[in-house]
Each structure stands twice: as C-alpha cells, then as structure tokens.
Structure 1
Amino acid sequence: MGKLGSLLKHPADLPALVKLKFASLYAEKQVPPEPHWAFCYTMLQKVSRSFALVIQQLEPELRNAVCIFYLVLRGLDTVEDDTSIPADVKLPILESFHRHIYDVNWHFSCGTNHYKMLMDHFQHVASSFLELGRRYQEAIEDITKGMGAGMAKFICKEVETIDDYDEYCHYVAGLVGLGLSRLFYASGTEEFAPDSLSNSMGLFLQKTNIIRDYLEDINEVPKSRMFWPREIWNKYALKLEDFKYEENSSEAVRCLNEMVTNALFHVEDCLKYMSALRDPAIFRFCAIPQIMAIGTLALCYNNVELFRGVVRMRRGLVARVMDETRSMADVYGAFFDFSCMLSSKVDKGDPNATKTLDRVEAIQKACRASGSLDKRRSYANESKTRQNVVLIIFFIILMIMIAYWVK
C-alpha cells in the first residue's frame, strides 16, 4: 500500500507521474541505431535515473556531448567508489582516466550492477567520445583529468577541515559544473558562466548527496566512505559512525543541521547561474536537479531518520518538479517554498539555528527580489483538498495499464 497510499495522500502527483511514465517510455525508444551510441544511451537511462529525460531534451549535438560527459565521469566515479580496489591499483587508473577515453580497447571491471556493465564495455563510450567535436572532447578531457587527480588525492587524504570538504566537492562536482558550462558555451547556445558560479552549482548538488547518503556511505563494505568534515562532526561525536546509533540521536541531528546550513551557502550563486541561462532545454537540465537538492535538504534538516534509513523526495513530487519547472519564476517559487519548509523545522535551541535562519532569509530575499513569487506553484505547502475519487481511480487504472504495456 506504500505507493498507492502516497498517491491517495498526494493526488496532485498523479498527472505528473503519468506524464513522467510516458516520457520515460518515449525516451527508451529514442536509442540511436549505431551499436556504440545505442549502448551509451541505454546505459544513460540505467545509471542516471530520471535525469536521462532532461539530458535527452537537449539539442542533438549537445545532447551527445553531455551524454558522454556523464558516462565518462560516471565511469571515473565507479572506480573511486569501489572500495574493494586496492589503492595501488586505483590511483593510477584515476590519474590516467582522461587518456583511457581515447582508447577504444580499454575497459576495467569494477562496480556492481549497471555500473559494472558500463565499465566492462567502456570501449563503447570511448568510441562515441571520439565522434564528438574537438571542443567537446577537450572540455571532457580537461575535466576528467582534473577530477581524476582530485579523487586520487583524497584516496590518500581524509576530509578533515571545511576547506578540505569544499576542495573534495570541487574535484568531484564543482568541476562537473565547470565542464557543463564549457559544453554549453561550445554549443554556441550560452555565454560562458563565471567559474565561481559553475563551481557552486556542483558543490550544492554534491553536498546534498553527501548529507543524504550518510548511512549508505558509513555502512559501505569493505570500508566506510567518510566525506563529512571532521571539523564539523567532531563537535558532536568522537567517531563519525557514532551518529547511526540511537543513543546519539540528539547530537547526530545537530551535526546534520550544521551540514545542511553549510550547503545553503551555495544557493544564491546557483540562482544567479540559472537566471543567466537562455536556452529552455539547458535551463531545465540545470534547474531540475537544483530544485530537487533544496527539496532534499528541506526533508533532511532536523530529521533523525537520515541516520536510520533513506530520506528522499517522494517520486510523485519529483515528477511534479520535472513537469512544472519551465522558468526562473518556477525556480524562485520552489526555492522559496522549500526554504519555508526548512525554516519551519528549525529548533531555536539548535546551536546553528541563527546561522540557519540567516541563510534561509538570504535565500528568500533573493526569491522575493525576483518579483515572481505570486506566480509560483506550491510544493512545500500542498493543498489539503482531495480530488474526486473517480479521478484518482482513473489515474491509478491508467498507470496500471501503462505498467502492463511496458512489460
């Protein structure tokens, strides 16, 4: 009854979920005929979840470049993530990965499930990469080289300080922001964005993922993966893994709230970056993940369940964000709503309460200054009214029929 209960509780999600299902079915059919490109777009749908949809809405030349950029970095990330690979094997691969993308015979077996398939057949990614325009290749190579070197550095170095944390996030995500800005510029569609704004776009997403994935990372086998900076968590515990134990819940939540507050410092840069975008498809590609990040932080803030299991936005709300994000007015509205949701959860006794509320107020000030909040759709404060039962049943039956057709 989980999914059905969620649909009945949030009937406004139903139309967006149906649209998302149809969009997914359409995307699955948009696979190029060439074997190497077919592999890439099939893998994109498997490893990037719903973001494959917004990637596929880009114009063809840029779409191919972003697809390969994503898969190259996903491959690099798979090597870094696999804690079973000895450091003396992993480090040379990370540092030379930017050269492997030119080698149509190279592959390296690691990771699990879809990621293992990607790495086992990485030669298809290399073959597709070699068909991109030179400007795209140079951007992808440069970012892969920088990211690989940064990842290698932090294989041998723990995240101790907040500066370390920002540096690590720069290597694994800020560079992605810089790379995407280069690809957008190379396509002739966008002006070149300032590096500081591109970096913030990546850091905001990465810090959200690091916060959300605490339990998954700390329970990683054979070795925990720890990205929360000691400078923050050491105020609240002797060991980072202590937070997963119920007796440490109060201190765990206080640490979590400081981590969320730290991430909020990047929001204003992200809003500036998105407000300068001109192409509607590129705008949606950038804006949807950012809205999902602020929504995720609002859910995680002051939420002890993050240390017990998975805290994610419900699929219906994700579908609504994907369906309804069309303009900066939508972005400002979403950031305003989710920041309101977050501020309503602030405990005045929290040691970082003042700093958190200051950050939220700065975000809301930027949203108000846009002059577009009166046009916003509500995500955080959904209407309590229930749609007609007949309409709900209709959508449920329609979704069941779609699921049957997919088989």
Structure 2
Amino acid sequence: MGAFYYLMHPNQLRSIIQWKLWHEPVHRRDTSQESANLKECFRYLNMTSRSFAMVIQELNPELLVSVALFYLVLRGLDTIEDDMTIPLDKKTPLLRNFHDTMEIDGWQFHGSKEKDAELLEHFDVVIAELKNLKPQYYEIIKDLTKKMGNGMADYAADTDKIENGLQTIEDYELYCHYVAGLVGEGLTRLFVTSELANPKLAERPSLTESMGQFLQKTNIIRDIHEDWVDGRRWYPKEIWSKHVDKWEDLFELSKREQALNCISEMVLDALKHVEECLFYMAGMRDQSCFNFVAIPQTMAIATLELIFRNPAILERNVKITKGDTCQIMFESTQNLFTVCEIFRRYVRRIHRKNDPRDPNFLAISARCAKIEQFIETLYPKQDAAKLNAANEKRQLGEPTADPGEGFVMWMVVILSLVFMALLMIGIAWFFGADFSSTFDDVKKLWTSLDAPKPPQPLAGAGRDEL
C-alpha cells in the first residue's frame, strides 16, 4: 500500500508507527552467541515463515532454538507432503521415516519443486543444530515428527481423499489434528518441560487441540480460492453439499449466496474452539510464551471476521491490512484481558455482519453470544464509575497516550505531502514546464498590490455627464 492509502487511512499509519516505535520485545535474539549453522537456520526460518518468524525470535532463550528448529523440521515435512510432483512410492516412506532421517548427518533432499525446497536442499544445517539441543527437547521434536509424518503419509496414500476431497467433518478435524493439533501438542510439551507454562495444560489435551484446530481451520477457510486453483479441496463435503451440488459451484457467480452461506457454516465450526483457546492462553507463565501463542490466535479471529460474508475470498487471496496487523500484535502482547477484548471486538463484528437470510443465522448469533458470555465470566463488568477510573489509569500508563506519538504521525503526513508536491513539480519541470514566467507573474501581482491606488472621483461628479 502506498503513501496515498495511509493519508486516507491515518489510523492504519498510526498503528504501524505505534508498533515500530513502542513495541519492546521481552527477549532479543543474541546473534553474537550463534554458530554459523544456527544463523543459517534462522535465515531459513525468516524465509519460510510469513507469520511465526518474529514471535519465535522473541521467545525466552530457553526455548528459542528448540521452537525454531521444531518449526523448520515440520516445514520440511510439510514441503514434502505438499509437493505433488514427488511420486507416491517415494513420498510415503519419506514422510513416515522423517523422524529417523533427521538424525542422519549431512542429509539433504533435492527432489522437491515447492517454494520452500531450498530448506530441504540444505537440511543438513538443521540436523547439525538439532544434535545440540537438550535431550528432553530433542525427544519431543522427534516424537511429534513421527506422529505427524505418519498422519501425512496416511492422507497422501488415500487417493480417494486427494481426488474427491474430505468427506466428513470428522475427516476434516482429523486432518487438522495431524497438520496443526500435533504442532500444538509439541509446543505445549516444550512449554511445560521448560516450566514456562502451567503443567496442568499437559493434562488437558482438548485445550491444546483447540489451539491448533482454530488456526488451521481459519487458514483453510481463507485459502479456498488458492486451494481450488491448485486442485486441492479441504472443505468437508458434509458441509458444502448442504449448499451446492458440486464443489465447483461455489465459485459460480450464480451461486454466490449459497457459497457465502457455506463459508458462514465453516466459520461457525471454527468459532466453537474459541473458549478453549482463551482458557489455554491463561496457562502461560512466561510473557514471551504468552505473546507467541496469543498473536496467531488474535490474528485468526480477525481473519475470520474479515472473510465472514465476504465474497472476495472466492476470487482472490484476502489478507488483514498491515495497520490492523500491527494494532492486533501490539494489543496481543499486553495480557489476557486485552486479548479477550480483541476477541470480543471481532466476535461482535461477526455478529453484526450476520445475515438473517443465512440458514446458520441463529446458530452463529448463539455462538457469538456464548463467546461473549465466556469472556464475561473471566472478566466480569464493573460499575461505570470504577470502570472509567480503571480505564483512565490504564491509559495513563500506556505509550498510546504519549502526545509525541501524534506529533510523529502528523510530521510523517506533512513530509509525505511535501514530498508528493516536490515530486509533481519535478515531473512538470522534466516535461518542459517553464516556471520563470510563473515567478514573474507572481512578482508583478505582489507589486501591483503594494502600489498606491489613484484617487476615485466623488459620487456627485457624475452629474456633469447628464
């Protein structure tokens, strides 16, 4: 987005400036203590991750490297699964044995055509750093890689699901479990083992599962057009068949209303995980771990609001604006209360966008109400006087109240306008505009304004002409 967009949307610009100037990471990655291989691993992390690279690199040093390598291992696994050019007889053993492969010194894979193929082509640097992890962290990564590899291999070998898509909601949630729920399980075990999260989380696997399901379902709903173009379909037939006869009908203009109703039902299915996600985040004992789990979840609820009843996702990829992203990240790195407020804000927007003509109207309204009710049990409302006093006190302690922020924003706006004006003058001069005559005209105008005026005749003098 260019400067003109931000001039027309100053709140977006304000959020970006706020994040850039006032976000202070709990921990900063110390590159001076890293080996060449580890630096290369972080380079691949930045290259392959659109959303997780930043939050991973701000994690507590105890878990920083473990989580980064866990991500790269799973990204390598996912790259093999997504590559439809790898023959099935070669792909299946690669997936099932990846947990053993990651112990082979110097192992690389050069047969992938996917965009993240470079990671696999230099996977030996990941393997070298895995061997430097604490044994308890390494075993968790290996165990989860084995579970995920077997799950992916099962789906890769199921030609019916590949050709005809997922049939039932149970199939849909099992797929989400393998590609996201198991990631949540591994992260939870890392958090608990490092004593950075409440150990009770390990006893509540449904909470961990909901975290992964909510993120993966949001991605699947959003990426419907991209997956359709690539020949993939992750929407379960049990849902889409209620609205259209054929999968391709969802992309027909004549079936647009039915397609939006189908997307609404998919959003409704994803929203059922919200309460457990909020409950899970309450179990984080370390601020950096809280930030790590909170930012993706708040981005997910904002994404659901963006795509709800939005026909654009049937035609192109739809993303949250950079300004909204910065605002959400800034708020999400505070505490659970602000995270709950983000969820409340976007759930209310979903409720307002809900269409009475949608067959899911009542169910969506009830689901939104239940989420708000749950948040209310966590943070009950106070009387108006106490609430206003608390808000004023909180705002005084927040950097958003800094008057210098407004000054910086307006200076950016003014400098942008000056730059655009100078740019336009420069373009005019380049194409032959003559400014010297313009300056002479202006000078004559000022001279005429300063010159004394001749005396005017009296009104009565006109009688001599009669």
TM-score, normalised relative to structure 1: 0.88
Q: Deviations over 1:142-199 (max 9, x none)?
A: 1111111111111233221001111110111001111000010121222231111001
Q: Do the aligned partners of residues 86 and 63 (structure 1) sit closer, same or farther apart at CA in structure 2, a change above 3 Å counting? A: same
Q: 2:114 is matched with which residue: 80, 97, 112? A: 112
- 1:30, distance to aligned residue in structure 2 (A): 4.0
| Amino acid paired to 2:282 | S
CA distance in 2, matches of 1:50, 1:28: 17
Q: Is the 8 A contact 1:329 1:372 kept in 2?
A: no
Return 5+ residue gaps in structure 2 as ranges: 382-386, 396-404, 420-466
Q: Is the 8 A contact 1:254 1:351 kept in 2?
A: yes
Q: Does 1:391 align with 2:401?
A: no
- 1:372, distance to aligned residue in structure 2 (A): 6.6
Q: How many residues are treated as equivalent by the alignment?
A: 385
Q: Which structure's relative contact order is higher, taking Cα pairs within 8 Å and 6+ residues apart? A: 1
Question: Residues 76-155 of structure 1: matches in 2 within 5 Å?
Answer: 76-109=77-110, 110-113=112-115, 115-155=116-156
Name the residue aligned to 1:184: 191
Q: Do the aligned partners of residues 250 and 168 (structure 1) sit closer, same or farther apart at CA in structure 2, a change above 3 Å counting? A: same
Q: Secondary structure at the match of 1:344?
A: helix
Q: Does 1:207 align with 2:225?
A: no
Name the residue aligned to 2:73: 72
- 1:237, distance to aligned residue in structure 2 (A): 2.2
Name the residue aligned to 1:4: 3
Name the residue aligned to 1:35: 36
Q: Is the 8 A contact 1:197 1:272 kept in 2?
A: yes
Q: Does 1:345 align with 2:353?
A: yes
- 1:284, distance to aligned residue in structure 2 (A): 0.5
CA distance in 2, matches of 1:191, 1:390: 41
Q: Is the 8 A contact 1:79 1:111 kept in 2?
A: no
Name the residue aligned to 2:327: 320
Name the residue aligned to 1:357: 365
Q: Is the 8 A contact 1:31 1:38 kept in 2?
A: no
Q: Deviations over 1:233-280 (max 9, x none)?
A: 112223323322222211111110100100001111101101121111
Q: Do the aligned partners of residues 388 and 136 (structure 1) sit closer, same or farther apart at CA in structure 2, a change above 3 Å counting? A: closer
Q: Is the 8 A contact 2:17 2:409 kept in 1?
A: no
Q: Do the aligned partners of residues 243 and 27 (structure 1) sit closer, same or farther apart at CA in structure 2, a change above 3 Å counting? A: farther
| Amino acid paired to 1:135 | Q
- 1:48, distance to aligned residue in structure 2 (A): 1.6
Q: Is the 8 A contact 1:104 1:123 kept in 2?
A: yes
Q: Secondary structure at the match of 2:353?
A: coil
Q: Is the 8 A contact 2:196 2:284 kept in 1?
A: no
Question: Residues 161-180 of structure 1: matches in 2 within 5 Å?
Answer: 161-180=168-187
Q: Is the 8 A contact 2:218 2:303 kept in 1?
A: yes
Deviates more, 1:323-332 or 1:203-212: 323-332
- 1:89, distance to aligned residue in structure 2 (A): 1.7
Q: Secondary structure at the match of 2:151?
A: helix
Q: Does 1:259 align with 2:260?
A: no
| Amino acid paired to 1:14 | L
CA distance in 2, matches of 1:148, 1:64: 22
| Amino acid paired to 1:161 | T
Greater radius of gyration (CA): 2
